[in-house]
Amino acid sequence: PITPGELLCLGSSLAFSGLFYYLYRKKARVVARIQEAPKLQVDDDLPARVSATDGRCLPYVALEGIVLPAKAALTSHYHEGLQGVIQKLLLKEHRLIWNSLARSW
């Protein structure tokens, strides 16, 4: 005989398994789209391609080209001859609303 507690555990286990499988498949589709992204070279033709598309943006595109640092390139302390640059980030803050229940913004 199966007890109600065992049925509850089995049901919650199946629910969590279904949820995690759904999230896995969703992320797998995103990864597949990124891997199938067209590779474009950074050249003089790139601005014309961007302005010719809908919304003036290219979703999931891999850009290949030479990157020049703004000031100086970063050198690795662990691998001799390895250099890198930092990408400029744009941070957009949304309007903060005080939540009196959680006492946080």
| Stated pTM of the model | 0.48
Phi and psi dihedrals of 66, rounded to 5? Answer: -90, 130
pLDDT in tens, 83-103: 888 776 666 766 777 778 877
Q: How far is CA 15 from CA 45, 87, 98, in A?
A: 50, 41, 34
pLDDT in tens, 17-40: 999 999 999 999 999 988 888 888
Instruction: Round the CA-based radius of gyration of the chain to a whole number and report it.
Output: 24
